[in-house]
Amino acid sequence: MADQHDDPRDDPLGSVTPPTPRRKPKPKVTTIGGRPLKPSTLMMGHGFDPALSEGSLKAPIFLTSTFAFENAAAGKRHFEGITGKRPGGAEGLVYSRFNGPNQEILEDRLAIWDGAEDALCFSSGMTAIAVLMLAACNAGDVIVHSGPLYAASEGFVAKVMAKYGVTYIAFPAGATREELDAVMVEAKAKAEAQGGEVPLIYLESPGNPTNALVDIEAVRDARDAHFDPDRCPIAIDNTFLGPLWQRPLEHGADLVVYSLTKYVGGHSDLVAGSIAGGKKWVNAVRALRNTMGGIADPHTAWMLLRSLETVELRMQRAGENAAKVCEFLTSHPKVEGLGYLGMIADARQQDIYDRHCLGAGSTFSVFIKGGEAECFAFLDALKVAKLAVSLGGTETLASHPASMTHLSVPDERKAMLGITDNLVRISIGIEDADDLIADFAQALDAV
């Protein structure tokens, strides 16, 4: 985090005191005796020096729109960094559309979870995704993306980017290396015909709401075979499993995207997003965020710092609960099947899971015997779980994607992606697992 404030306290006689030299923050400690500290340890203090804020153990919320420069030359230097005249970005705090203490601490800590060089925070997951795509593309370009995507992401690619002359090619999540090769060849030809490039491969894995997994390693290999990796980053929405259960940068992705609204925020009380990855890619997105805005506000950033302290604990507990609930649901006579990563039926999906994932997560789909009417009866009967969209919070939520989050997806595409009328999406929280099982049992009785 950059320099905060000094407090040049008045002397009691009112004489003018010489300005105190600005204190530098303590160096960031990330190892002890050469041993790297774990993310769960670093979440308690990394990037914040209490000495710069009156000894406050927790970072205060910095509600300011702008920051006073030490002198005019410093102001010039900061703007050279902001505008890209000098590489490396801003050296200090400048203006709250660009950066701020709470956001910088948050970004330092987010980068740690994914082993990324740098991170950016945004006012929502969709802002992160929109700024990423707008930063990457020029008219004539083609985005290659996996399917399914969160409906708003899919809509952004198909409808909004189309307005700027950017088209797309989608491939099914489980695509093999051979299938991916064919997609890359098709995308290259399409981009050439349009006078553009393929500047972004955009993945979502697991996909919302089916939990279909993408073989990130195969996508990386196909990308490397057909495109210049320095001009065609792979970005992945890791909202469903990150930051605990999947580390995409280790499998070939260049950028990781999150709706922080979900597991990272974790309490269903904020909306935010992030992007993390190599500086080269992050800086290109930062440049557009500086121009457009879309950075998370200081209060939300502060809430996320609170949330990051418990993200590992919360996700572990939710994951354990989900395993118990799915064990119950899988043999229930009114349940046709589960889209749960701890019980994968397909060999290809299991292979991707074994190579990429560290845990099955706590968001899954349950296919109820019947259709919309049976799903609605189930949802309306829930007493502990809440009927709401979103996921990754401390409380269990259930929703019906076909008629809610994915209502805008055309019926044909829904059918192709497996978003059926009998699919209920469940996000398990950190309640008592037996209480949740009792709730699902009585709700299934009502079907």
Phi, psi of 339 (to 5 degrees): -105, 70
Least distance in angstroms from the C-beta of 16 to ligand PLP: 50
Q: In which order are the strands placed within the sheet that holds 397-399?
A: 335-339, 363-368, 423-427, 397-399, 386-387
Least distance in angstroms from the C-beta of 397 to ligand PLP: 11
Least distance in angstroms from the C-beta of 180 to ligand PLP: 21
Task: Decide: 68 and 6 in contact? Cβ < 8 Å.
Answer: no
Tokens of 271: 């909306």
Residue 142 vs residues 156, 170, 171, 293, 408: alpha-carbon distances, Å: 13, 10, 13, 25, 22
Closest to ligand PLP by CB, 262 vs 286, is 262
Q: Which one, of 62, 116, 59, 44, lies nearest residue 308 by Cα?
A: 44
Closest to ligand PLP by CB, 133 vs 191, is 133
Closest to ligand PLP by CB, 263 vs 302, is 263
Closest to ligand PLP by CB, 257 vs 323, is 257
Closest to ligand PLP by CB, 273 vs 359, is 273
C-alpha 429/C-alpha 427 separation (Å) is 7
C-alpha 281/C-alpha 43 separation (Å) is 24
Least distance in angstroms from the C-beta of 428 to ligand PLP: 15
Closest to ligand PLP by CB, 4 vs 246, is 246
Residue nearest to ligand PLP (CB): 125
Closest to ligand PLP by CB, 137 vs 256, is 256
- DSSP assigned state of 157: I
338: enclosing H helix or E strand: strand 335-339
Closest to ligand PLP by CB, 294 vs 342, is 294
Residues that bind ligand PLP (CB under 6 A): 124-126, 150, 153, 204, 208, 237, 239, 259, 261, 271, 273
Residue 357 vs residues 244, 353, 360: alpha-carbon distances, Å: 9, 5, 7
Rounded to the nearest 10 degrees, the angle between the axes of helix 433-445 and helix 311-330 is 40
C-alpha 102/C-alpha 382 separation (Å) is 38
Least distance in angstroms from the C-beta of 150 to ligand PLP: 4
Least distance in angstroms from the C-beta of 362 to ligand PLP: 14
- Do strands 363-368 and 335-339 pair parallel, antiparallel, or not at all (unpaired)? antiparallel
C-alpha 181/C-alpha 221 separation (Å) is 9
In whole angstroms, what separates CA 222 from the centre of its chain?
24
Q: In which order are the strands placed within the sheet that holds 167-172?
A: 118-122, 273-277, 255-259, 234-237, 200-204, 142-147, 167-172
Closest to ligand PLP by CB, 125 vs 342, is 125
Least distance in angstroms from the C-beta of 173 to ligand PLP: 13
Least distance in angstroms from the C-beta of 373 to ligand PLP: 25
Least distance in angstroms from the C-beta of 133 to ligand PLP: 13
Q: Which one, of 198, 226, 211, lies nearest residue 142 by Cα?
A: 198
Least distance in angstroms from the C-beta of 114 to ligand PLP: 15
Q: Which one, of 416, 87, 128, lies nearest residue 255 by Cα?
A: 128
Closest to ligand PLP by CB, 237 vs 297, is 237
